[in-house]
Chain A
Amino acid sequence: MRLREVAYARSGDKGNISNITVLPRVGTDLAWLRANLTVARVAEHFGELVRGPVTRYDLPGIGALNFVLEEALDGGVSVSLRADPHGKSYQSLMLDLELPDR
C-alpha cells in the first residue's frame, strides 16, 4: 500500500533542509502511521537525495507528523543544480512510499 492512500503531505524548504508534513486522511490512523512511517523507512526511501539525518516531530494538536530532512536540497534553492531546487516534489515522492497493508 502506498502512503498516498492514507495520508496527505506538504514539503517546504529552508536553506539545505527540507521538511515534509504527513497528515493522515483519517485522524485515527495517526498511531498506525507513527508505528510504520519511521525515520529509518523515510531515510531509506529518499536514499541519495538526502545526505544528512532525518528527524521526525509530532504535532499532536493537528494530528500530523513532521519529517525534517537535512542536507536534502543539493545546497538549497539558490545553490542547487537540481531540476527541482525547492524539493517541491518531495511531498509526492513521500506519498509514493510503500507501507505494509493495515
Chain B
Amino acid sequence: MAESGVVDVLGFDCLAERTLALAQVKRAADQEAGYDPRLPEYLRRLAPSLKRGLTVVGNFGAANVAAATERTVKELRDAGLGGMRVGSIQGDDVLDLVRGDDIEIPDLGKRLSELGDRVVSANAYVGAQPVIDCLEEGASWVLGGRLADVSLFVGPICWALGWPLDDPAQAAQATMIGHLLECGVQVTGGYFADPPYREVPGQAHLGFPYAEYRDDEWTIRKSGGSGGLVDERVVKLQLAYEVHDPARYLTPDVTADFTNVECRDLGDDQVAVGGARGAPRPETLKVLVGVDLGYRVVAEIGYAGTGCIARAGDAEAIIRSAIDGFGEDVTESRFDLVGVDALAGGTRPETGEPAELRLRVAAYCRTQKTAEALADEVEYLYLGPAGGGGVTRAISRPIGIFPASIARDRVDIVTELIDL
C-alpha cells in the first residue's frame, strides 16, 4: 500500500491491552526496550516511500517513547532522510501523577496505595490534537505511546481536510473512519470467515484497508491485488466491534454516536459509510494501570480414547491436592478440558466423549519456585492416570492492565520535533 502511492498517510495501531502489558514487562527488564520491536523494520522498509512524500503515524513507542524516538531518528538518518522531520508525542506515562492522586481501580475496588509496589505502570490515552500539531509542523513520521487507536487516524484526517477537532460533528465522522481502520484486516475479511455462511477469498493474503474521502463521502476500500473482501457485512460488524453503548463511543477526541451510521455497498470491494454524530469529548481520559500479577503457570497433559474424561478427572484431583499443599503461595487456579469445555464453558449440550482432550491447569503463584513446583506436579502426571501424554508447561510474569480514569487537564502532553 505504501509503495502503490494510493494513500497519503499510513496509520499503525500497534497496541492493545495485552501488547501494552507485554511492553511494560520488557521495559521493566531492559530500560532500552519496551517499544514496538517491529519499529526498525518498519522504518527501513518505509524509508523509500517517506522520500516520496508518505506520512506515517503510529503508537510505536508503547511503553518507551523516548527509546523509540531515538531509534527512529537513527534509522531514518542512516536511510539518508536528511531534511525530514520526526514528531514525538510524550507524556502518556502518568504513573507518578496517579500515584500522587491515589486513584481507584474500579475492577479491583482498590486504590493504588493498597496495591503498593505491585503497580508498575500507568498510561493515559492520548487524543488526536498532538498528532495534528506534529503534522502541522511538517513531521512526516509521528510516534507516541498510548495514542488512542482511533486518534491515529482522526489526527491525519482532521489535518488533511482542515476539520477542527473541536467540532464534534466532524470529529465523530473522522472517529467512525478511524474505528473502522484501526484493526486493519478486520474490515477486509479477517476475523470473519465461517463457512458455509461466510466465505472469504484469499485469506492467506488479506488486503489492508484504507479510507478515501471524495465529494463529501467516505468509502472503505482495500489494497489492490489482495485477498479478502470489503462488503456491507464486514463493515457493519466492524463498526460495532468493541463498542458498548453505540450512542456514546468515548474517545479522547469526541463522544461519538454510531447509532445511525449507514453503509452502502458500492461493489468492487468498496463500501460507502456515513452518518456518525458527535457530542463534546469526555472531560476524563482513560488510564491503563499495570499491576504485577505474580507468576502465571499454564500446564497441560493429553488423554485419549475411551475413559479420557474420567482419567483427566483423576489427574485434576491429584493436582488439586498438590495445590492445597502449596497453601497461600497459589493465589488462584482453574482447570479446563481443552476439547470439551475450555472455551465453551457450559454453553454446549452434552455431546458424548471426545476422541481426545487435554487437561489444562492455570494458576497464579506468589513465587517462581511455587510456579515451577506446580508445573512439575503436572509433569509427574506421566506417572498418574493411565496414558497421559504430551505435557506442556509455561511460566510467565504477567502485568495485568486495569482501566481507570483521570481528569484530562491533569495530563501534560508534550510534543517534540526533531529535524533529521
Q: CB within 8 Å of B: which residues of A? A: 4, 8-10, 12-17, 19, 21, 23, 25, 45-49, 57-64, 66, 68, 75-79, 81-86, 88-89, 92-93, 95-96
Chain B residue with minimal CB distance to A18?
Answer: B242
Check A57 against B246 for contact (C-beta < 8 Å): yes
Given contacts A10-B191, A14-B244, A81-B296, contact A23 B258 (CB under 8 A): no
In chain B, positions 352-406 with a C-beta closer than 8 Å to chain A are: 360, 362-364, 398-403
Check A13 against B398 for contact (C-beta < 8 Å): no
Given contacts A78-B18, A78-B401, A83-B338, contact A25 B197 (CB under 8 A): yes
B407 at the interface (CB under 8 A from A): no
Cα distance, A92 to B347, chains bound together (Å) = 11
- Number of B residues near A (Cβ < 8 Å) is 55
Check B18 against A62 for contact (C-beta < 8 Å): no
Check B259 against A61 for contact (C-beta < 8 Å): yes
From A4, A57, A75, give the contact of B400 (CB < 8 A). Answer: A75
Q: Would you list 29 pairs from A and B whose C-beta atoms are within 8 A, ordered by A residue? A: A4-B194, A4-B197, A9-B237, A10-B192, A10-B238, A12-B241, A13-B17, A14-B242, A15-B402, A19-B240, A19-B242, A19-B244, A21-B237, A21-B241, A23-B237, A46-B347, A61-B259, A61-B260, A62-B239, A64-B240, A75-B107, A76-B401, A78-B400, A78-B401, A81-B296, A81-B334, A89-B344, A93-B344, A96-B347
7 nearest A-B pairs in the assembled complex, by CB-CB distance: A12-B242, A81-B362, A21-B240, A10-B237, A83-B342, A61-B260, A49-B345
From B107, B197, B239, B293, give the contact of A8 (CB < 8 A). Answer: B197
The total of Cβ contacts below 8 Å across the A-B interface reads 147
Cα distance, A95 to B237, chains bound together (Å) = 14
Chain A residue with minimal CB distance to B333?
Answer: A81
Nearest-Cβ distance from residue A25 to partner chain B, whole angstroms: 7
Nearest-Cβ distance from residue A17 to partner chain B, whole angstroms: 7
Cβ contacts under 8 Å, B334 to chain A: 81-82
Cα distance, A14 to B243, chains bound together (Å) = 9
Given contacts A23-B233, A76-B17, contact A59 B240 (CB under 8 A): yes
From A16, A59, A76, give the contact of B259 (CB < 8 A). Answer: A59
Check B259 against A60 for contact (C-beta < 8 Å): yes
Cα distance, A31 to B261, chains bound together (Å) = 19
In chain B, positions 56-81 with a C-beta closer than 8 Å to chain A are: none
From A47, A59, A89, give the contact of B346 (CB < 8 A). Answer: A47
Check A59 against B244 for contact (C-beta < 8 Å): no
Check A61 against B262 for contact (C-beta < 8 Å): yes
Known interface pairs A4-B197, A19-B243, A66-B244; 16 further A-B residue pairs with C-beta atoms within 8 A, sorted by A's residue number = A10-B191, A14-B403, A15-B17, A16-B107, A19-B240, A19-B241, A47-B347, A59-B239, A66-B243, A77-B18, A77-B401, A79-B402, A81-B332, A83-B343, A85-B18, A95-B194
